[in-house]
Amino acid sequence: MTFLWLLEGIRTPFLDKLMQLITYLGQEIIIIAVICTLYWCVDKRFAYLLGFTYFTAGLCVQIMKITFRIPRPWILDPEFKAVESALPGATGYSFPSGHTQGASCLFVPLALKHKSLPGKLLCCLAFLLVGFSRMYLGCHTPLDVFTAMAISIAVSCVIWKFQDALLGNTSHPGYTALILAGIAVFAAVYALILNKQGTIETKYAIDCLKASGAGLGFAAGWYAEQKYLQFSSRFTSIRSLLLTVIPGLVLSLLLKEGIALFFGSSILAKSAEYFILVLWVLVIYPFLFTKVQRRTV
């Protein structure tokens, strides 16, 4: 808390807005939008690597959150105040930092992929700034941030090193799907047990079930796409890219809202919502735009 009090002492309205802008790089919607764009139109293999990294590390972070159950800084020290604009995005337990995990899982693989040293340094700077912004805004302690970074960097490096074994063997996609599905099922069962015992509140269990649903959706979508669809993500023009990405993202947001209205807000409903949404991104929407492309050729 000492470091957070130090940062609280240098806050200004300009820095508050700047750090809030930087912290958006770790938002779920930004990361998913990047993965969708890469997956649908640019580099499907690398998008799979990003997704596998993001969802695997995310599940690890969620499991740690409900295991250690460390409160937010303003609960640990009632006299401490976070930046007001950051509070809506600071849900769940504090340790480890979800925003930092998300940004690290996006920018560490980008750094590994980038060939130039300046590009690698910019990617590293990006996730470090997101971690710093979480502390400046008062949402996380240094322990929350650096633990999330350590988990994400470790997962990113392992998946990067073994990507050929995990993502290259398309004749047997079930093996990769089983790894992620196993972690997701464990996280879901673990959260439900803790919630039933009264150890964690329902709102904290929901966060974990969202990650589990998304992880299962990614596992199922990876298997189905590799086994049956195998669409091409190479687009030859900016126009065709935009005509694919913009409707896809809009439809994904509408679908998310529609599923939430239809299924409700129970623990299992939220898990189903994220499962269907990821399945839509990986399989259903690519199937639809592939059909449209074939008819227009």
What's phi and psi for 152, nearest 5 deg? Answer: -65, -40
What is the pLDDT at residue 92? 85
Q: Distance between CA 106 and CA 188 in Å, rounded?
A: 24
Note down the domain range covering 171.
2-296
From residue 112, give the alpha-carbon distance in Å to each of 26, 104, 121, 126.
18, 12, 10, 14
- Other CB atoms closer than 10 Å to residue 80's CB: what's the count? 15
C-alpha Rg value of the chain to the nearest Å: 19
Token code pair at residue 99: 């925003």
| Residue linked to tokens 């969202």 | 210
User: What is the sign, positive or negative, of the torsion defined by CA atoms of 132, 136, 141, 144?
Assistant: negative
Q: Which two tokens stand for residue 157?
A: 């490096």
C-alpha to C-alpha distance for 10 and 104, rounded to whole angstroms: 25
- The structure tokens listed for 182 are 């196993």
Which residue shows structure tokens 């994904």?
252
Contacts of 31 (CB under 8 A, 6+ apart): 54, 102, 103, 105, 106
pLDDT at position 80 is: 93
Structural domain count of the chain = 1
Full DSSP string of 174-223: HHHHHHHHHHHHHHHHHHHHHHHTTSS-HHHHHHHHHHHHHHHHHHHHHH
One digit per residue, the tens of pLDDT, for the chain of length 297 reads 889 999 999 999 999 999 999 999 999 889 999 999 999 988 899 999 999 999 999 999 999 999 999 999 999 899 999 998 888 888 889 999 999 999 999 999 999 999 899 999 999 999 999 999 999 999 999 999 999 999 999 999 999 999 988 887 665 667 888 989 999 999 999 999 999 999 999 989 999 999 999 999 999 999 999 888 888 777 767 887 888 889 999 999 898 888 878 877 788 888 999 999 999 999 999 998 877 666 655
Burial, 58: exposed, middle or buried (Cβ in 10 Å; 0-12, 13-18, 19+)?
buried
Number of residues that this document lists for the chain = 297
Residue type, 22: I
pLDDT value of residue 218:
94
pLDDT at 258: 87
Q: Contact, 93 vs 70, CB < 8 A?
A: yes
User: What local confidence, expressed as pLDDT, does residue 46 receive?
Assistant: 94
pTM of the full structure: 0.92
pLDDT value at position 172? Answer: 65
pLDDT of the residue at 170: 61
What's the distance, CA 230 to chain centroid?
Answer: 24
Q: What are phi and psi of 27, to 5 degrees?
A: -70, 145
